[in-house]
Amino acid sequence: MMKNDDLFSSERSVFIHMDTVTFYQLIKQVYERLKQEDSKQTDSDFIGEKEAMKLLGITSKSTLQKYRDHSYITFYKLSSRKILYSKSSIESFILNNKESFD
């Protein structure tokens, strides 16, 4: 059985010969697969504390706590130390509280 490291060793080279149409079909399949994997990761509505603070543009954990206390944002307490935040509720909070500069 060949290991991944075997493919990159200097002692062994592997060449695959295919026509142009097949090559581009393969590239398209790889691209679609990577796009699906990426969308699975970005579709999650749950984010951690650091990402929530970054999205809100705050640096203080106490401000984040205030937002939780006043129910400005939705959060899920998984344990005494682990809290997940709803990304969509944060985005909604930002949109509803933006200042207009018009």
- Each residue's pLDDT tens digit, 44-68: 789 999 999 999 999 999 999 999 9
What distance in Å separates the CA atoms of residue 47 and residue 37, rounded to the nearest whole number? 18
Burial code (b: 16+ CB inside 10 Å, e: under 16) for 47-82 equals beeeebbebbeeeeeeebeebbeeebbbbeeeeeee
Q: Quick check: 89 and 46 in contact, CB under 8 A? A: no
pTM exceeding the 0.75 threshold for the entire prediction: no
Residue pLDDT, tens place only, 72-98:
999 999 988 899 999 999 999 999 887
Domain boundaries, the chain: 15-44, 46-96
